[in-house]
Structure 1
Amino acid sequence: MSKKKATIITYGCQMNVNETAKMTRLLEGNGYEMTDDIHDSDAVFLNTCTVRGGAAGRIEGKLGNLKTIKNARKTKMIIGVTGCVAQEEKEHILERAPHVDIVIGNQNIAQLPEIMEKILKGEVVHAVLTDKEDELPPRIDANFGDGISASVAINYGCNNFCTYCIVPYVRGRERSVPMEDIVNDVRKYVKKGYKDILLLGQNVNSYGKDFDNSHEINFAKLLDEICQIEGDYWIRYVSPHPKDLTLDVLEVAAKYPEKIARNMHLPVQSGSTNMLKAMNRKYTKEDYLALVDRIKTALPDISLTTDIIVGFPGETEEDFLDTMDIIKKVKYENSYMFMYSVREGTPAATMEGQISEEVKKSRLQRLMEVQNENAKECSLSYVGKTVKVLVEGPSHRNKEKMTGRISANKVVIFEGDSSLKGTFVDVKIVTAKTWTLYGELA
């Protein structure tokens, strides 16, 4: 008898990737074999994201496709919606898509095997599990697939209430995971051979703020504890909020140059103090630039990346030029730039001064041109240097070459064989393009 098969389609952030890895382990433990072929799958889950406007519409399109597949099957097919859309929409998903069997929120995925069993036995027709949003979810082992990169959630939820963001409303208030649980998870993944450990939180700098902090547990203390775990690996984290990044975090990063990766994602969102106030970011342009100076002084080899929103309501040309200015001054190695999109349920959705799509597109293009120049300049600075590379496997474009990433999170292509996958190697950079470095084994 062949195994039942399951598929998880993942949208959105690294937290969703982490939760998919946990669901994968739960499904495998329940006798399912994972497949990417939805036509051959007995259970398909959409692990959804609701950060960008229009996400729910894209999910509905995929659910329509799955309805057709489900109706054509001779055997039972379970369809589930998980993640932030599930948490936000709850039973309303079933009203629009009654062929969905399970709606399950971020906090409830541990219940997945039990509820699937009840549906298959006919004990339950539909299940909506979206409660416990202000509790810590149970610790679940995860299957990250590649054996190279693993992620560990260190806190859940958000207290910042940026005016464009729906996350605090769907993921609840900040809850920190006990430090011992995090350290044990990292130790477990390092022992399994994972080399790249990503610490996750809506705001990792807020870690520990919800504790009775008699033991002064904070993000810096957590990093220090993790870095004492023996093994050949490095730690990355996303995302810190600029208003909460403290000197002790930089001191720990300087203390462990081989353990803490030299890339920091520091979302600025806008270079305009007026826009930052409208976004409720709680820092000014000058605050941010002063923070960047402190980071670069403490960690001279740091690579900075960022998030930027263009066309936020009320953004003038002067505000936009402030954002251009900050990109030129900081010289980010990469920027994730988005046109503002209305997110219903957030304060920004009803603000006056909504910007036209034409203006937003023009501003985004101008930003991209400046950022591309920065990225190319940063890449060229690596030529002639020997860098430590975590090998991820054969290059997608040329299977004769290997690809990997350096501590600063830049992609490197070099001559090598597949036996190097999952190892650290030294590569001398020979040439560079805007986004990619090319080298040879040192």
Structure 2
Amino acid sequence: MEDIEDLLLGSGGGVAAGFRLPVAAAVGVDTKHQRKKNTLRNPTSSYAPKIPGTQTIYVKTFGCSHNQSDSEYMAGQLSAFGYALSDNPDEADLWLINTCTVKSPSQSAMDTLISKGRSAQKPLVVAGCVPQGSRNLKELDGVSIVGVQQIDRVVEVVEETLKGHEVRLLTRKTLPALDLPKVRKNKFVEILPINVGCLGACTYCKTKHARGHLGSYTIDSLVGRVRTVIADGVKEIWLSSEDTGAYGRDIGVNLPMLLNALVAELPSDGSTMLRIGMTNPPYILEHLKEIAEVLCHPCVYTFLHVPVQSGSDAILAAMNREYTVGEFRLVADTLIKLVPGMQIATDIICGFPGETDEDFAQTVDLIKDYQFAQVHISQFYPRPGTPAARMKKVASNVVKQRSRELTAVFESFAPYNRMEGLVERIWITEIAADGIHLVGHTKGYIQVLVIGPESMLGRSAMAKINSVGRWSVFGEVIEVLYQADQTLGSYDNGKDNHFCCSGNEESCACSKDSTSCASGPASCCENHLDANTVSLPAHPGGSLMEWLLRSCGLLTWKKSENIIVPPSKDNQQEALNYQRQWGGVDRIILSGIFLSFLTILATLLHLGLKSSPST
């Protein structure tokens, strides 16, 4: 099928987001019988005509966080033009499907959803990597398409599709603006794309066919976006791209420069956290120390997703991954050494073409050596049009067996056992799937499930870890932090003022001279946390009067020393040390309550004596 691209001024240029032009100037549309002509096909559908902007749209997203961000931007533009958004596909007037091409199962799910939409006679718009990278798929025949760099035109595409027209926008152009309207799936989490595409040429990867070569947003535009979302109340910012580590190499900057600029914008009270996205080993090797310093910042999660894909150099070479197992180990070892509490997630592909038993054994050994808390294990899926699809495949039964074996090894780890009994600061951003627990994350981005009111969403709290599971830990909220009164200490992007983020017997990446933190957490992390906090009524303690005052918010507790509890048994005792702070107002209020109580008691006694019969 031929692609009819933008016709605006005949140049393929864009149009201001949300600005509706006449159809012939705004979008190109496709017909079944005259596909090479820029004409409209007469609507033949039976959809009842409605005023544009009054219909309901169902948005379904497959794939990575970058795809999720694209969907949120498209939903935001549709909502800004009056369209209603629904999670119920049956009640929607149109389905917008944002697709992923990384694995065959994701594309198969897209195919199934398109078939269901056709059966339900729903107008369909398909976005994302599948149509951009495989535009001639027969499954896409007859549906409208919006490319990954055309998401700012989604309103026009939806409007024309609702009229019964087939629209295709696939021209690559400048990156979509970051300040487009956005409807976040989680209002506390901003997924911020910092670049699109990548510099690699992995033999198995189809994503580059869709996302293309590296294109980075400027530091100024990203800093501006961070300021905006913080003002909107966002509590977590996820940096997202196909390869975060490659950021800026096309515009003369690099990832550490961006990270230092972004953390300078984060509130000093720790109310908003930054999470660095997936990065491949080749592009962070030269910046390991700088990245470790940023990961030590108290407002940055000590978590990084670094895919290794295989523990065999021979397989990495066949994948064209551009690094060795030794270089991956250097990345992991350096970050683990320099960043206390560092958590690394990785990916493994089982059964890549040419993988021998020895190659696979090396992969198993690598995973055993590090015992990663998170490993994404997948079987090799040949993607059409990639070099790996033409390579000699490993027998499917062998691939499945290796996947099961590696999964069993991974599931035998108990990465969170040492956390039981610790007190950790967590950031709470969502409700768990069970509808009962709230989901918080530690600084190492370990998932902590707690029970509490929904009003705790978007807040930071101190939680005691009561039990641990394989995939998450369960905690009890001790106190919710007053964000306005918190001070996390200073952070200087220069070379003369760094601080360590946790006490640890290892050297501190953030200390000026990488000296030991043997003096303990209080001295190493001075001024890391000095927060006034409010005790939860669920944990009264003390006298009935004290509980009543705390419940009414009239009595507060103040920490007498900093709280830093690294995952070490030495720090499990006396994790919190409180002293009561009674001010003049507290004494006046307590005296008033006491006098009122005495007055009521005296009145009751007087009335009782007065009404009693005389003898």
Match of 1:300 in 2: 340
Give the one of 74, 78, 82 matched to 2:123: 78
Match of 2:455 in 1: 419
> AA paired with 1:379?
Y
Distance 1:433 1:116, change over 3 A: closer
Higher helix share: 1
Give the one of 373, 376, 380 matched to 2:417: 380
Match of 1:237 in 2: 276
How many residue pairs get aligned? The number is 422
Q: Which has the larger radius of gyration?
A: 2
CA displacement at 1:164 relative to structure 2: 0.8
Asked if residue 404 in structure 1 is aligned to residue 446 in structure 2, the reply is no
> AA paired with 2:149?
Q
Distance 1:17 1:362, change over 3 A: same
CA distance in 1, matches of 2:298, 2:166: 50
Asked if residue 327 in structure 1 is aligned to residue 327 in structure 2, the reply is no
Which one is further off, 245-254 or 158-167?
A: 245-254
CA distance in 1, matches of 2:115, 2:416: 44
Distance 1:274 1:230, change over 3 A: closer
Query: What are the Cα deviations for residues 308-361 of structure 1, in whole angstroms up to 9, with x where unaligned?
Result: 001001111110010011111122111000011111111111112x11121111
Match of 1:115 in 2: 157
> AA paired with 2:128?
G
After superposition, where does 1:339-418 map in structure 2 within 5 Å?
339-352=379-392, 354-374=393-413, 376=414, 378-397=415-434, 399=436, 401-418=437-454
Query: 1:155·1:177 contact (CA, 8 Å) conserved in 2?
Result: yes
> AA paired with 1:103?
I
> AA paired with 1:33?
A
Asked if residue 167 in structure 1 is aligned to residue 219 in structure 2, the reply is no
Q: Which structure's relative contact order is higher, taking Cα pairs within 8 Å and 6+ residues apart?
A: 1
Higher strand share: 1
Distance 1:98 1:282, change over 3 A: closer
Query: What are the Cα deviations for residues 168-223 of structure 1, in whole angstroms up to 9, with x where unaligned?
Result: 11111001111111111111111111111001111111111111x2xxx2100100
After superposition, where does 1:281-300 map in structure 2 within 5 Å?
281-300=321-340
Match of 1:265 in 2: 305
Match of 1:314 in 2: 354
Structure 1: runs of 5+ lacking an equivalent: 71-76
How much is the aligned-residue C-alpha RMSD, in angstroms?
1.9
Q: Secondary structure of the equivalent of 1:113? A: helix
CA displacement at 1:414 relative to structure 2: 2.0
Q: Secondary structure of the equivalent of 2:276? A: strand
Q: Secondary structure of the equivalent of 2:275? A: strand
Q: Secondary structure of the equivalent of 2:416? A: helix
Match of 2:578 in 1: none
Query: 2:353·2:388 contact (CA, 8 Å) conserved in 1?
Result: yes
CA displacement at 1:249 relative to structure 2: 5.1
> AA paired with 1:106?
V
> AA paired with 2:94?
A
After superposition, where does 1:69-108 map in structure 2 within 5 Å?
69-70=120-121, 77-90=122-135, 92-93=136-137, 96=139, 98-100=141-143, 102-108=144-150
CA displacement at 1:115 relative to structure 2: 3.0
CA distance in 1, matches of 2:335, 2:140: 49
CA distance in 2, matches of 1:45, 1:191: 29
Q: Secondary structure of the equivalent of 1:254? A: helix
CA displacement at 1:422 relative to structure 2: 1.2
Q: Secondary structure of the equivalent of 2:461? A: strand
* TM-score calculated relative to the size of structure 1: 0.91
Match of 2:535 in 1: none
CA displacement at 1:3 relative to structure 2: 4.0
Structure 2: runs of 5+ lacking an equivalent: 1-50, 479-615
CA displacement at 1:392 relative to structure 2: 2.9
CA displacement at 1:418 relative to structure 2: 1.6
Q: Secondary structure of the equivalent of 2:149? A: helix
CA distance in 1, matches of 2:139, 2:191: 34
> AA paired with 1:157?
G
CA distance in 1, matches of 2:218, 2:181: 16
Question: Percent of aligned pairs with the same residue?
Answer: 27
Distance 1:253 1:190, change over 3 A: farther
Give the one of 60, 65, 81 matched to 2:111: 60
> AA paired with 2:260?
D
Give the one of 151, 164, 174 matched to 2:191: 151
Query: What are the Cα deviations for residues 212-242 of structure 1, in whole angstroms up to 9, with x where unaligned?
Result: x2xxx21001000000114221111221111
Q: Secondary structure of the equivalent of 1:106? A: coil
> AA paired with 1:383?
E
CA distance in 1, matches of 2:188, 2:120: 34
Distance 1:243 1:393, change over 3 A: closer
Query: What are the Cα deviations for residues 47-89 of structure 1, in whole angstroms up to 9, with x where unaligned?
Result: 000111254443222111111211xxxxxx5310000111023
CA displacement at 1:440 relative to structure 2: 1.3
CA displacement at 1:22 relative to structure 2: 0.2
Query: 1:253·1:260 contact (CA, 8 Å) conserved in 2?
Result: no
Match of 2:506 in 1: none
Query: 2:124·2:161 contact (CA, 8 Å) conserved in 1?
Result: no
CA distance in 2, matches of 1:168, 1:403: 34
Q: Secondary structure of the equivalent of 1:388? A: strand
CA distance in 2, matches of 1:19, 1:315: 36
CA distance in 1, matches of 2:319, 2:286: 25
CA distance in 1, matches of 2:266, 2:375: 33
Query: 1:289·1:330 contact (CA, 8 Å) conserved in 2?
Result: no
CA displacement at 1:402 relative to structure 2: 2.6
Match of 1:73 in 2: none
Query: 2:354·2:394 contact (CA, 8 Å) conserved in 1?
Result: yes
